[in-house]
Amino acid sequence: MLISPLDVVRWTFRRRPADAIRLYDSLSGVMRLATGGDSLNFGLWADSCAEPLLAQKNMADHFGKVAELQNAQTAADVGCGRAGPARIWQEAYPNVRMVCIDINRQGLGDAGFLPCAANAISTSLPLASGSMDRVLALESAQHFRPLDGFTTEAARVLSPEGILCLAVPVAGPRYAKHRLGMLWLTWSSEHHTMSTVRASVASAGLQLLSEERVGGLVYEPIAEYYLQNRVALKRRIRSEYPGYVESLLHRSILDMRRASKRDVIDYVIVKCKKANGSR
Query: Where along the sequence are the contacts to ligand SAM (CB under 6 A)?
Result: 17, 20, 24, 39-41, 78-81, 84-85, 102-104, 107, 121-122, 138-140, 143-144
Name the minimum Å distance from CB 178 to ligand SAM: 25
Bridge partners (DSSP) listed for residue 99: 76
Identity of the residue, 52 or 162, whose beta carbon is nearer to ligand SAM in the bound complex = 52
Residues in the chain, overall count: 279
Q: What are phi and psi of 270, to 5 degrees?
A: -115, 135
Question: Shortest Cβ distance from residue 157 to ligand SAM (Å)?
Answer: 14
Q: Closest distance between ligand SAM and the C-beta of residue 182, in Å?
A: 18
- Say how far apart CA 195 and CA 199 lie, in whole Å: 6
CA angle, residues 120, 127, 72, in degrees to nearest 5: 115
- Smallest gap from Cβ 79 to ligand SAM, in A, equals 3
Nearest to ligand SAM of 146, 275 (CB atom): 146
Report the residue number, 41 or 252, with the smaller CB distance to ligand SAM.
41
Residue closer to ligand SAM by CB (options 46, 275) is 46
Q: Which helix (H) or strand (E) holds 208?
A: strand 206-213
Select the residue whose beta carbon is closest to ligand SAM and give its number: 81
Residue 23 is given by DSSP the state H
Q: Minimum distance from CB of 128 to ligand SAM (Å)? A: 18
Judge residue 26's burial from the number of C-beta atoms within 10 Å of its C-beta, 0-12 exposed, 13-18 middle, 19 or more buried. Answer: middle
- Report which residue type is found at 87: R
Closest alpha carbon to 197 in 216, 217, 172, 220: 172
Q: Which is nearer to ligand SAM, 248 or 275 (CB)?
A: 248
